[in-house]
Structure 1
């Protein structure tokens, strides 16, 4: 799996200047990249372009398989700043449902979901309704749900914003370890989190600058 942005430009109809202006980026399978920049500069817009939820005004966005294994797994997992969970269901239910929706049987889904929750430090909260969890705990449920279906591409929009640094660092370490065969793009304002990635892409004034860490 590789992400290729080639001279991509995008503007909203309500704005004269482009939000994304000639952005280029290559992110290969197994690589991670932090997407940084001031608030309101278009980080979420760039994620939506990569996911195909927005169409660029010009340039090319490609998310493509690079080997036969990728052909069998081109799924994308999203993790948002505010987790979208079923608050009356348990943490285990929320993660298991992602597997059930992909065709897994409950007998196999629950042990896999339990292991994912253990990996993000929530084994003691398997049977807690999400509404009883803290914001940080709920975000970790969302991360476990993203991990559990083994996606080829992970797009994370401020996934540690509601976590203290140590918890956020631990969660990102788990995410990068479990998703070591995926392409991972994480929007963040935290330079300490960004330094954990292979690359940093900085977006400001529509321009994207990419550097290795």
Structure 2
């Protein structure tokens, strides 16, 4: 899916500060994109608008397939939220299977996907552990595996490596964006190493996308 934003602006209800102003960008089908910028620049707000967690009132954000048809991001995107939410008394595999079920997978297919994606994020041997006993970093990786298991064409991730060390971050990024062209991945990050791995870097400052000269695009 190609992601395109046109003149997106946003102000929170009861707020007097415009968080986003005229944001426009294109992310090619199958590309990975990093949204970077200082705290308060609108990164998570933009991602939330892309994933329909916030209502879009000004401008447009489109998910367009290879035939040129528009799709709702609510139906084509899976999320990795900054605040990890797992079913605490179910196993790591059970939690990942939820993502596969959202794609209509059978139980056998869902279990196979869970084992595969947990292995890809470095959690071999932890499949049958209850989520409540996992560390914060392990829980984050389960959430990433769950998003991958959905097989939706777009992944929206808010600081997915924030709780991970450099080695584990590299493993997770390989799982998310290593299979180039299979999914379009958008990552909000403060980590320069993550941004360097992505095909597209969108830098937000004061609610606007900056060009390479540091001016609003």
What is the TM-score of this pair, normalised by structure 2? 0.89
- Aligned residue runs from structure 1 range 86-165, under 5 A: 86-165=87-166
- Aligned residue runs from structure 1 range 63-102, under 5 A: 63-67=63-67, 75-102=76-103
* Structure-1 residue corresponding to 2:18: 18
Please give the alpha-carbon distance, in whole angstroms, between the structure 2 residues aligned to 1:60 and 1:69. Answer: 15
* Structure-2 residue corresponding to 1:48: 48
What is the TM-score of this pair, normalised by structure 1? 0.90
- Aligned residue runs from structure 1 range 21-40, under 5 A: 21-40=21-40
The answer to whether the 8 A contact 1:20-1:206 is kept is yes
Q: Deviations over 1:158-196 (max 9, x none)?
A: 001111122112211221024632111100000111100
Please give the alpha-carbon distance, in whole angstroms, between the structure 1 residues aligned to 2:193 and 2:102. Answer: 35
Q: Which SS does the other structure have where 2:26 is aligned?
A: strand
Aligned length: 210
The RMSD of aligned alpha carbons is 2.1
What is the deviation of 1:15? 2.6
Q: Which sections of structure 1, spanning at least 5 residues, go unmatched? A: none
Please give the alpha-carbon distance, in whole angstroms, between the structure 2 residues aligned to 1:106 and 1:69. Answer: 31
Please give the alpha-carbon distance, in whole angstroms, between the structure 1 residues aligned to 2:92 and 2:76. Answer: 22
Please give the alpha-carbon distance, in whole angstroms, between the structure 2 residues aligned to 1:210 and 1:50. Answer: 21
What is the deviation of 1:101? 4.0
Please give the alpha-carbon distance, in whole angstroms, between the structure 2 residues aligned to 1:89 and 1:16. Answer: 43
Change (3 A) 1:131 1:18: same
* Structure-2 residue corresponding to 1:189: 190
Q: Which SS does the other structure have where 1:58 is aligned?
A: coil
The answer to whether the 8 A contact 1:70-1:152 is kept is no
The answer to whether the 8 A contact 1:25-1:210 is kept is no
Q: Which SS does the other structure have where 2:140 is aligned?
A: helix
Change (3 A) 1:139 1:210: farther
> Relative to structure 2, which stretch is displaced further, 102-111 or 116-125?
102-111
What is the deviation of 1:69? 10
Please give the alpha-carbon distance, in whole angstroms, between the structure 1 residues aligned to 2:146 and 2:123. Answer: 12
